[in-house]
């Protein structure tokens, strides 16, 4: 944009320098001598970060509040008093040794979008909210509260990483466990939610695309599988007389791969944990415990994979003369992104001359929960080498700015599109 | 045999009651409160057992001596002063928690054979030796000394289970490390060796046969395999971008099975040890270490299996985008039983009305080493449920007696067959 270009919605852009400077400022909060960043929710570092965010929200023209789950919500008033809110945001807490983009980018880009509008004295028709969700990396209590999915009768599930009861955690940041329901949102007050996040995988880098248009956030089906064979002398037991639990396990592992690869929805499936007993060079394995983790954005596909897994496991047990039992470890339902929001993001990318790629989000996000109660969309920017949850996590300043501009224009697009 | 039957070689039988009584007497030596028997070589319990064996040898008309490796050798003189020795025997040491048949049966049956001959005032043409080999369950130094395969420059390989230097161990039982070579035997002084042993597997029980005619004692090729892939987020890494070390390991495990099952020589192969890193439910496995143990009585088959393994491993590495390295852990050459001794055992079984089954010995035995320097054969009797190295190890009194009678007549057969 040159000085002579009239400032229209088409060429409105965020201040990339400011955004990236703020990312660096935030990276100093909780930085460890190792370089990793540690801002576990409810710690002094996380509180310091919240305070900074709150100041930046206020500087950008927002009014801030804290809901019962401790979510920090900044609201930039719209021109239509009756309009439902549009919202964006992400989280500012990190894993124990995290990087400087995961979560933070979405919050800071949301604030930068509002600041850009505020500087231009522009308002949307809809109120625009930026939400810094509570404890995404551990309990996900912030986004669950908004989605109304907190298990109110099981507070022990929501203890902090340090083991502090959730009631105390929430009180320390202005929340209130007993008023959790009051944090719930719905289509009645939230028209749509858009989250900008780093990919945390290498799909964009590998495909050479600027922006990921997220189709949905995967659900998870996780199973524990126990295979019981018969431990026996590895010398004196002929092949035909064995009940080798490891051979059965190998077949299960390959079946898991085949099942995932055969699904047209491109799920992932992993056997990441395996324990062998007695685990001795000269003994036929008697018992194997292993985990199966399957992820897809389509519930039907997850259910079909589980059905196929049970079928294959039954056949493998019979063929290897072992006993195989499966038990559920985790079941998280997926959330699809709204078609309308996906279309808006893709169209914005085309307008801005950015290449884009439709893809599932295979990591969990605040959007997973918020998408259960209203239209949701996610914008991904590339992660170098797919690395995240580490000091090596990297997205270039240019890529961060591109993401923020796509977020800005997507919100402008939705503001036009959604009725007030 | 009734009282009126003339006592000929054909109907000569051992005293089964005496044999089984002696097995029970020996079982009291080293019996633990748990019921298991612990007679580790060079311990007071093993010395007590040796003393008992020596007395029984002398009672059976033998002259005893102890060689440099501590082998206790009883010799029952033959009628031909020029004749080479025929020998039988096994070991009286046990694993830390052993049973009462493994090893002991072969020594006590050998003594019972001589006692039977002695009671009838019968002598073979050949001197008949009964050998109680030293430390079969750990160093195998006794049989190795006779075969001349002791690694004289590496005494540390031969420490006792308790860590006592082999020199001290041998001294405590009348042996002498520095004179090890003097224990060596050859065809020049040992015409043939026959060992009676419990099967330690379930082949005879499963096939319903009385006697196993051993074709050879398996050699072992043992490899350590390390698979290096790339640890990655189990959610965000699409199937096509993974370098999953566990998937490669599963393929290796199944390849090992296929290789063994395809060999006509009926080898066994086992992946008994596996270690996965980082071994977390939500991380694509980055590294797997595993063991491969292959056993066959034919050296060519072992070498071919190793060649096929390397070939398959190379293909699997390429297909899974992992790096796979293999390194040798153990290489023991197999020993084939002499055709002549196998034929003698089978013929004797037929004469005695006992069913028999030709089979490899897939466990190691003193015969493995002795078979390297002279004609060797082994007679197996059934192990209930294939169990050994445990208090549950069981072979019935009748089966023990059958084995001893086959041993007796096989030695008589070889005495006629082998030149003096």
State the average pLDDT over residues A312-333.
97
Whether B333 shows a pLDDT value over 60: the answer reads yes
Pick the residue from chain A with its C-alpha nearest to B389.
A233
Q: Which residues of A are less than 8 Å from B388 in CB distance?
A: 233, 236
B295 inside 8 A of chain A by CB: yes
State the average pLDDT over residues A397-417.
97
Average pLDDT, chain A: 95
CB contact under 8 A, A293 and B281: yes
The predicted pLDDT at position A9 comes to: 72
Identify the residue among A205, A207, A243, A268 best suited for mutation to test binding to B, counting B beta carbons within 10 A and taking the highest.
A268
The alpha-carbon gap from A136 to the nearest alpha carbon of chain B, in Å, equals: 16
The predicted pLDDT at position A4 comes to: 43
Residue B79: pLDDT band with limits 50, 70, 90: very high
Q: Count Cβ neighbours within 10 Å for each residue of B82-104 and write b for 16 or more, e otherwise.
A: ebbbbbbbbbbbbbeebbbbbbb
Instruction: Work out the angle at residue B350's Cα, subtended by the Cα atoms of residues B349 and B352, and round it to the nearest 5 degrees.
Output: 65
The predicted pLDDT at position A8 comes to: 62
Q: Which residues of A are less than 8 Å from B281 in CB distance?
A: 222, 272-273, 291, 293, 329
Whether B154 shows a pLDDT value over 80: the answer reads yes
Residues 6+ positions from A392 with CB-CB distance below 8 Å: A99, A384, A385
Minimal CA–CA distance to A361: which of A221, A213, A142, A259? A213
Whether B1 shows a pLDDT value over 60: the answer reads no
DSSP assignment string, B105-132: HHHHHHHHHHHHHHHTT---SS-EEEEE
Question: And the tokens for A147?
Answer: 């989605």
Residue A420: pLDDT band with limits 50, 70, 90: confident
The predicted pLDDT at position A1 comes to: 41
Identify the residue among B199, B258, B281, B296 best suited for mutation to test binding to A, counting A beta carbons within 10 A and taking the highest.
B281
Give residue for tokens 């540690």: A38
Whether A57 shows a pLDDT value over 50: the answer reads yes
Instruction: Work out the angle at residue B233's Cα, subtended by the Cα atoms of residues B232 and B234, and round it to the nearest 5 degrees.
Output: 105
State the average pLDDT over residues A321-339.
96
Question: And the tokens for A326?
Answer: 């499966």
Give residue-wise pLDDT tens across range B287-328: 999 999 999 999 999 999 999 999 999 999 999 999 999 999
Question: And the tokens for A296?
Answer: 């897809």
How many CB atoms are located within 10 Å of the residue B354 CB? 18
**Which CATH fold would you assign to the domain A9-216+335-417?**
Aminopeptidase (3.40.630)
- Give the span between the Cα atoms of B400 and B99, in whole angstroms: 14
CATH class of A219-332: alpha beta
Name the A residues in 299-358 with CB < 8 Å from any B CB: 329
A356-361 and A211-217 beta bridge pairing: parallel
Could you give the residue range(s) of every CATH 3.40.630.10 domain in chain A?
Answer: 9-216+335-417
- Give the span between the Cα atoms of A312 and A316, in whole angstroms: 6
State the average pLDDT over residues B168-197.
97
DSSP assignment string, A217-231: E-EEEEEEEEEE---
- Give the span between the Cα atoms of A218 and A346, in whole angstroms: 20
Minimal CA–CA distance to B94: which of B165, B169, B32? B32
Average pLDDT, chain B: 95
Gyration radius of chain A over CA positions: 24
Give residue-wise pLDDT tens across range A153-163: 999 989 998 89
Give residue-wise pLDDT tens across range A364-390: 999 999 999 999 999 999 999 998 888
Give residue-wise pLDDT tens across range B371-386: 999 999 999 999 999 9
Identify the residue among B236, B247, B248 best suited for mutation to test binding to A, counting A beta carbons within 10 A and taking the highest.
B236
Give residue for tokens 């022990």: A156
DSSP assignment string, A179-212: GGGGG---TTTEEEEEEEEE-SSSHHHHHT-SEE
The predicted pLDDT at position B390 comes to: 84
Whether A90 shows a pLDDT value over 90: the answer reads yes
Report the percentage of chain A scoring pLDDT > 70: 98
Q: How far apart are the first and last CA of chain A?
A: 31
CATH 3.40.190.10 fits B16-217+334-417, yes or no: no
Could you give the residue range(s) of every CATH 3.40.630.10 domain in chain B?
Answer: 16-217+334-417
Could you give the residue range(s) of every CATH 3.30.70.360 domain in chain A?
Answer: 219-332
The predicted pLDDT at position A3 comes to: 43
B14 inside 8 A of chain A by CB: no
Minimal CA–CA distance to B367: which of B196, B150, B212? B196
Give residue-wise pLDDT tens across range A2-15: 444 444 677 899 99
DSSP assignment string, B313-382: HHHHHHHHT-EEEEEEEEEE--EEPPHHHHHHHHHHHHHHT--EEEEEE-S--HHHHHTTTSEEEEEEE-
How many CB atoms are located within 10 Å of the residue A224 CB? 16
């Amino acid at each position: 944009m040159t000085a002579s270009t009239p400032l229209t919605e088409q060429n409105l852009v965020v201040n990339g320098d400011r955004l990236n400077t703020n990312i660096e400022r935030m990276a100093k909060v909780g930085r460890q001598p190792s370089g990793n960043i540690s801002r576990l929710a409810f710690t002094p570092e996380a509180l310091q970060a919240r305070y900074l965010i709150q100041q930046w929200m206020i500087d950008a023209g927002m009014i801030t509040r804290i809901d019962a789950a401790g979510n920090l919500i900044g609201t930039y008033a719209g021109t239509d008093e009756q309009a439902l809110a549009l919202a964006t945001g992400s989280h500012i807490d990190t894993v124990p040794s995290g990087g400087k983009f995961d979560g933070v980018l979405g919050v800071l880009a949301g604030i930068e979008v509002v600041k850009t509008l505020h500087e231009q004295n522009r308002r949307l028709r809809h109120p625009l909210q930026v939400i810094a969700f509570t404890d995404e990396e551990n309990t996900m209590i912030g986004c669950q509260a908004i989605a109304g999915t907190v298990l109110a009768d099981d507070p022990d599930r929501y203890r902090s990483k340090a083991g502090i009861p959730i009631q105390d955690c929430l009180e320390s940041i202005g929340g209130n466990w007993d008023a959790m329901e009051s944090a719930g949102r719905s289509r009645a007050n939230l028209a749509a939610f858009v989250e900008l996040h780093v990919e945390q995988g290498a799909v964009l880098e590998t495909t050479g695309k600027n922006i990921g248009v997220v189709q949905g956030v995967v659900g998870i089906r996780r199973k524990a599988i126990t295979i019981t064979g018969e431990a026996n002398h590895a010398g004196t037991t002929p092949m035909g007389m064995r009940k080798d639990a490891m051979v059965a396990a190998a077949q299960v592992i390959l079946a898991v791969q085949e099942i995932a690869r055969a699904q047209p929805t491109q799920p992932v499936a992993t056997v990441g944990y395996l324990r062998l007993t007695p685990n001795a060079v000269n003994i036929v394995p008697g018992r194997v415990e292993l985990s199966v983790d399957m992820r897809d954005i389509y519930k039907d596909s997850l259910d079909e994979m589980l059905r196929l897994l049970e079928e294959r496991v039954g056949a493998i047990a019979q063929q290897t003369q072992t006993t195989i039992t499966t038990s559920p470890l985790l079941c998280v339902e997926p959330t699809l992104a709204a078609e309308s929001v996906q279309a808006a993001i893709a169209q914005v990318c085309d307008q801005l001359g950015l290449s884009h790629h439709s893809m599932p989000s295979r990591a969990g996000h605040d959007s997973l929960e918020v998408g259960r109660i209203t239209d949701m969309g996610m914008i991904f920017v590339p992660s170098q080498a797919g690395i995240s949850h580490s000091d090596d996590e990297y997205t270039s300043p240019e890529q961060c700015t591109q993401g923020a501009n796509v977020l800005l224009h997507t919100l402008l697009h939705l503001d036009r599109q959604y009725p007030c």
